[in-house]
Structure 1
Amino acid sequence: MHDSHNSTAARLFETEGTGNPLDVLKRVYGYSAFRGKQQDVVEHVVAGGDAVVLFPTGAGKSLCFQVPALCRNGVGIVVSPLIALMRDQVEALKQLGVRAAALNSSLTRDEAIAVRHSLAAGALDLLYVTPERAVTDAFADMVADTDIALFAIDEAHCVSQWGHDFRPEYRGLGCLASRFPGVPRIALTATADPHTRDDIIKRLGLDRARVFTTSFDRPNIAYEIVERDQPRQQLLRFLSRFKDASGIVYCLSRAKVDDTAEWLNTQGIRALPYHAGMDRALRDAHQDAFLKEERLCLVATVAFGMGIDKPDVRYVAHLDLPGSVEAYYQETGRAGRDGLPSEVWMAYGMADVIQRRRMIDEGGSPEEIKRIERGKLNTLLAICETAGCRRQAILAHFGEAHPGRCGHCDTCLKPVETWDGTEAAIKALAAVYRTGERFGAGHVIDVLMGTINEKTERFGHVDMPVFGAGKDLPPRTWQSVFRQLLAAGLIKVDHSAFGALQLEPEARSVFRRERQVLFRKDRPSSGKAARGTKSATARERSDLAGSDLELFEKLRSQRLAIARDMDVPPYVVFPDTTLIALAKQRPRGFEDLLDVPGIGESKREKYGEAFLAVIDAFEEGGG
């Protein structure tokens, strides 16, 4: 028999404004201690201070505003960019017994009226709104007589034109300081280089805010970047490690998303497409399936993912190069939000670089913004081409020093050989120069290889000294040479001249032999992975053995049954980390459940009996 308890769902906060942060954390969220700098942020905001929070994905940014909102008088107002994100977070909060709601365009008239009535009655702890709504006079009038605990501006990098996901509507949020004086504001983001951080502070009027930052390292994520060579087969080999897990495959175009999803299904991998060109209802259904089902691959454009709360994404793959380090970091950061081992993989080639630069050059941004975007793309390309630690290179972009040799990326696990490419660089640069800086990499390589064809003959390139000067290296190596020259800033691509390669001023030092050029050797195209093929699902539970692992699977089945019955994602019931703790600790009584990380009072009331029954039956059966 289990300990007796009150099964009636009770209000967790009977007296507003008196909550102790640690008490709230334990009673509501089921954790006995904050992580990292969470407690510093929470205490600062509870005391009424403004804050800028720069934490990586998975570091628990949401608690930094949710807990203070529950501890202070009034309602916490959260500005969030996506309706889907609001829906997910509101549902998760309701499961915790928190009175949360969202006010956005997806609500019916009656639903919106009900939310307004709850707000007016002081019956909400947290209210999620879009930035467009938060800056209107109508919104200010609606909350004029409401106690506001705080304003939280999530995904704050959207305010900066230097960021990778600029949204003009975020610019207006600077008005909150003057419209609601004395109400603490907290801006949060997981992706911001130093320039973007400064812009966030400036645009939101947070000059006096305390800035909280922690390492942007995601140690549970393993990085792998490969040169594109039969990309579908390369992707298939990568996905073979995750037969029992969910993940995301990113593609640049809608057509490629559709084709890749269709092909993966023919290979026995259940995959669904997601992009902005799909019917809205079908797109929403695919996102819903990804959140609620297990063992599903979502193939998507970057239209999918910002703020997605699914914690058990075990892998993220890129079939195309993202536009910046921030975009790459954010998209890969959707893996392993629960802190369990996860892997990210990308295949790239010269065509990616040319296409991305064309998108920048042909875009409508001011030249200054284009210059910044080119620089960000070059930085990402340099990370792809590095012979050193990937993690070290990624973190350097965010102004963070890392000693390298992380042991958890492909270049550390299988170090890349380098070679003195000074002579090859001189030949490549000379071929670009001698052919008039008018041709793309393919033609310049033909010249270096001494390939006689209609084009090399028509332009008289067969008579040049550089014709055939590169026969000592294979075409694939020359492709790598030109990628690395691009990454090193020694050449550029002129899209107005149909992708012609042109010399940068820094090329002079190479011609003069004042600068040594080291190139990384490309991996052999055997397709062998840098790491073993043990699946992430197996690794994440590697500390569970024997009966503990067997019990975990039974608890997982119980969770899925409950989630399907309630029509919510399984992780909303309990994340994998809580199931792992249940399998290890095997609580016997109702009170013991509160000692399990991730089980607070509300979830104990809702699910405690069901999971204790699974544990009891397992132990009675000799497990």
Structure 2
Amino acid sequence: MPAEDRGPIRASSSQYSSSSDALHTVFGYDNFRGDQAEIIQQVIDGGDALVLMPTGGGKSLCYQIPALVREGTGVVISPLIALMQDQVDALSAVGVRAAFLNSTQDQEQRRGVERALLNGELDLLYLAPERLRVTATIDLLDRASISLFAIDEAHCVSQWGHDFRPDYLQLSMLHEHWPRVPRIALTATATEQTHLEIQKRLQLSDARHFVASFDRPNIQYRIAAKNAPQQQLLELLRSEHPGDAGIVYCLSRASVEKTAEFLIQNGTSALPYHAGLDSRVRAANQSRFLREDGIVMVATIAFGMGIDKPDVRFVAHLDLPKSVEGYYQETGRAGRDGLPSTAWLAYGLQDVMQQRRMIDGSEGNAEHRRRLGQHLDAMLALCETVECRRVQLLGYFGETSTACGNCDTCLAPPESWDGTVPAQKLLSTIVRLQRERNQKFGAGQLVDILLGRSTARITQYDHSSLSTFGIGGELSDQEWRGVVRQLLAQGLLAVQGEYGTLIVTESSARVLAGDRSVMLRREPERASRPAKTRRSAAVELPAGASPVFERLRAWRAAESKEQGVPAYVIFHDATLREIATATPNTLAELGTMSGVGENKLAKYGEAILEVLAS
């Protein structure tokens, strides 16, 4: 029997008269950002909402506040079991009655949460989607008073997206089983295609859709030609982010391990994270990253979704992401506090060849492989553009913009050049090898032929007798590899077989016939660091405030360690900077600081005033 026909055992009553009351009293903020107020009111009034908002845009408040204002308990469907404890800790710190039910709890812990739910003692309850397959969970929710359902990370429902989770496909049952309970689905990244699939699969056709700008102006996007990537990464950390928290993404587990060890050997506090590690090691490493300052997490893409650490100053990729959506969400974990941050990617020929091979060898039908190819093509277009990176990135999500002035192509514009003749030379070499000798080779041998090198393999296969041998002396080895990479990106070359041999495509014929020109990107000569670099948090503080800020950070670190919660659960850096600048003398003055709600004022107010007076 549906819940609306049964009625709850006991409904929890709201203690907040309005969304503004909850925002100020609980979270310590005076004003909503962007569409937050309109989204929140839509849900408070009982309507459904589909929200596309960038990481750091304030999505969580869009369901937390309605859950505080409406009667009953807000149920949050989240795939992030490993982070539910931190999410509950953060809410508890501001006085919100929150709990979770998942597989990490024993029977007695689950029973305690169930009792609290049925007694109307919870404002928010977090559930993993797979728990909704359990009949006992449905029965429990039927007996409770539910104020709303929030479907977090809603892009997981989309098989067109970058993070598909089969358990999300069943979430249409929320509307079917509890038709009178409002739903809000939220994601930080979705193309129009993914957006439409979320709407269809979650039965949100009658919902109001809110699409915020995907722009993160505080993030500086940079893509560098891969050349000793570990050393390039180390230079980035030493020159721009010494002592900063950051995330480094690698494609393989082995690369994660090697990169973490390399950083440790070179004086950086780094930790590995991938699915092959023991679950206890993964949990411990994630906990250290969240709770300690200045940790660099080296990880596969298994890490990061839902990470709410606001002071991640950089996200680096040592391998090419599989899609723009994945890249956008991963880089979006930097700079959630709004301070200047870096998104850096090292990208090279082998990345393109590896991704092409992975697509060709992937499971699934031709349509699935075509979809993967489309994702990769869009990512390659972002890497190879001579225009503003941000314009290209936002354009992928259907948003028009103008040059940002804060990405590598704006700060040091690359040149485009007519690479038609070099392309013809390379393609001709491939054609001649295949037609005249029934041979196929990878990029290295092709470049050696074009440069006229005398190597053992050149001699072995008598490639010096080819008509194209030595005709490519106008370009260097690295430049020829750039040509190969860009022809792959433009679909004028394809990768074949496990050894990565190169073959021409249907599109190549027009280039060889002289009917199509080929424009290529030339990397600018520039220093490893752009002219415009970030400013540290300390630099942004007024004269005299920096020592106060550091004393507050030291107090927060001690408090965080004692409580066993991340430092940001106590206060964000932004709040500490405001306190350090304003130096309030009374609790009343401290209560006016952004991010200081009633619960935190009562809990930490006197201690902060003591730090300020020291």
Q: State the TM-score, normalized to the length of structure 1.
A: 0.93
- Structure 1 residues 447-526: aligned runs within 5 Å: 447-459=449-461, 461-495=463-497, 498-524=499-525
Which residue does the alignment assign to 1:150? 148
Deviation of 1:336 after TM superposition, in Å, equals: 0.5
Identity level (%): 49
Counterpart secondary structure, 1:191? coil
CA distance in 2, matches of 1:466, 1:19: 79
Which residue does the alignment assign to 1:301? 300
User: Which is worse superposed, 374-383 or 15-24?
Assistant: 15-24
Deviation of 1:174 after TM superposition, in Å, equals: 1.2
CA distance in 2, matches of 1:209, 1:433: 55
Deviation of 1:560 after TM superposition, in Å, equals: 0.9
Which residue does the alignment assign to 1:391? 390
- Structure 1 residues 564-579: aligned runs within 5 Å: 564-579=561-576
Alpha carbons 1:555, 1:611 under 8 Å: kept: yes
Which of 221, 226, 233 lines up with 1:228 in the alignment?
226
- Structure 1 residues 396-411: aligned runs within 5 Å: 396-404=395-403, 406-411=404-409
Which residue does the alignment assign to 1:182? 180
Deviation of 1:15 after TM superposition, in Å, equals: 4.2
Deviation of 1:293 after TM superposition, in Å, equals: 0.5
CA distance in 2, matches of 1:151, 1:194: 23
Backbone CA RMSD of aligned residues: 1.8
CA distance in 1, matches of 2:32, 2:202: 27
Matched residue type, 1:410: D
Deviation of 1:459 after TM superposition, in Å, equals: 4.5
Alpha carbons 1:234, 1:527 under 8 Å: kept: no
Deviation of 1:509 after TM superposition, in Å, equals: 3.1
Which of 37, 40, 57 lines up with 2:38 in the alignment?
40
Alpha carbons 1:85, 1:309 under 8 Å: kept: no
Which residue does the alignment assign to 1:621? none
Alpha carbons 1:17, 1:72 under 8 Å: kept: no
Matched residue type, 1:615: L
Deviation of 1:527 after TM superposition, in Å, equals: 5.9
Alpha carbons 1:135, 1:173 under 8 Å: kept: no
Counterpart secondary structure, 2:540? coil
CA distance in 2, matches of 1:248, 1:602: 32
Deviation of 1:141 after TM superposition, in Å, equals: 0.6
Q: Deviations over 1:209-237 (max 9, x none)?
A: 11100110110101111111122221111
Q: Deviations over 1:476-499 (max 9, x none)?
A: 101001111111222221236x32
Cα distance change, pair 395–421 in 1 and its aligned pair in 2 (3 A): same
Which residue does the alignment assign to 1:562? 559
Matched residue type, 1:501: L
- Structure 1 residues 532-543: aligned runs within 5 Å: 536=534, 538-543=535-540
Matched residue type, 2:117: L
Alpha carbons 2:28, 2:594 under 8 Å: kept: yes
Alpha carbons 2:74, 2:150 under 8 Å: kept: yes
User: Which is worse superposed, 550-559 or 509-518?
Assistant: 509-518
Deviation of 1:418 after TM superposition, in Å, equals: 2.2
CA distance in 2, matches of 1:61, 1:88: 17
CA distance in 2, matches of 1:356, 1:266: 30
Which of 527, 531, 543 lines up with 1:546 in the alignment?
543
CA distance in 1, matches of 2:587, 2:297: 38
CA distance in 2, matches of 1:360, 1:14: 51
Counterpart secondary structure, 1:476? helix
Which of 446, 453, 475 lines up with 1:444 in the alignment?
446
Which residue does the alignment assign to 2:166? 168
Alpha carbons 1:135, 1:176 under 8 Å: kept: no
Alpha carbons 1:249, 1:316 under 8 Å: kept: yes
Alpha carbons 1:477, 1:522 under 8 Å: kept: no
CA distance in 1, matches of 2:149, 2:576: 33
Matched residue type, 1:513: G
Deviation of 1:98 after TM superposition, in Å, equals: 0.3
Which residue does the alignment assign to 2:5? none
- Structure 1 residues 193-272: aligned runs within 5 Å: 193-240=191-238, 241-272=240-271
- Structure 1 residues 22-37: aligned runs within 5 Å: 22-37=20-35
Which residue does the alignment assign to 2:4? none
Matched residue type, 1:528: S
Which residue does the alignment assign to 1:620? none
CA distance in 2, matches of 1:108, 1:608: 36
Which of 52, 69, 75 lines up with 1:71 in the alignment?
69
Cα distance change, pair 17–148 in 1 and its aligned pair in 2 (3 A): farther
CA distance in 2, matches of 1:319, 1:146: 48
Counterpart secondary structure, 2:32? coil
CA distance in 2, matches of 1:411, 1:540: 26
Alpha carbons 2:259, 2:298 under 8 Å: kept: yes
Q: Does 1:363 align with 2:362?
A: yes
CA distance in 2, matches of 1:549, 1:418: 45
Deviation of 1:239 after TM superposition, in Å, equals: 0.3
Which residue does the alignment assign to 1:7? none
Cα distance change, pair 347–324 in 1 and its aligned pair in 2 (3 A): same
Deviation of 1:31 after TM superposition, in Å, equals: 0.6
Which residue does the alignment assign to 1:5? none
Gapped runs of 5+ residues in structure 2? 1-10
Matched residue type, 1:65: Y
Counterpart secondary structure, 2:50? strand
CA distance in 2, matches of 1:48, 1:541: 44
Q: Deviations over 1:507-527 (max 9, x none)?
A: 233233333322111345x86
CA distance in 1, matches of 2:193, 2:409: 29
Which of 580, 589, 593 lines up with 2:590 in the alignment?
593
CA distance in 2, matches of 1:110, 1:250: 38
Which residue does the alignment assign to 2:18? 20
CA distance in 2, matches of 1:516, 1:360: 28
Alpha carbons 2:16, 2:22 under 8 Å: kept: no
CA distance in 2, matches of 1:18, 1:294: 35
Alpha carbons 2:271, 2:298 under 8 Å: kept: yes
CA distance in 2, matches of 1:473, 1:166: 43
Cα distance change, pair 22–495 in 1 and its aligned pair in 2 (3 A): farther
Counterpart secondary structure, 2:143? coil
Gapped runs of 5+ residues in structure 1? 1-12, 618-623
Deviation of 1:460 after TM superposition, in Å, equals: 5.0
Which residue does the alignment assign to 1:10? none
Cα distance change, pair 512–540 in 1 and its aligned pair in 2 (3 A): farther
Which residue does the alignment assign to 1:6? none
Deviation of 1:17 after TM superposition, in Å, equals: 7.6
CA distance in 1, matches of 2:600, 2:355: 47
Deviation of 1:18 after TM superposition, in Å, equals: 5.7
Which residue does the alignment assign to 1:9? none
Q: Deviations over 1:404-423 (max 9, x none)?
A: 2x111111111112222121
Deviation of 1:602 after TM superposition, in Å, equals: 0.8
Counterpart secondary structure, 1:150? strand
Alpha carbons 1:395, 1:402 under 8 Å: kept: yes
Alpha carbons 1:51, 1:187 under 8 Å: kept: yes
Deviation of 1:454 after TM superposition, in Å, equals: 4.5
CA distance in 2, matches of 1:205, 1:232: 46
Counterpart secondary structure, 1:198? helix
Counterpart secondary structure, 1:61? coil
Deviation of 1:594 after TM superposition, in Å, equals: 2.3
CA distance in 1, matches of 2:266, 2:455: 40
CA distance in 2, matches of 1:564, 1:527: 40
Which residue does the alignment assign to 2:345? 346
Counterpart secondary structure, 1:502? strand
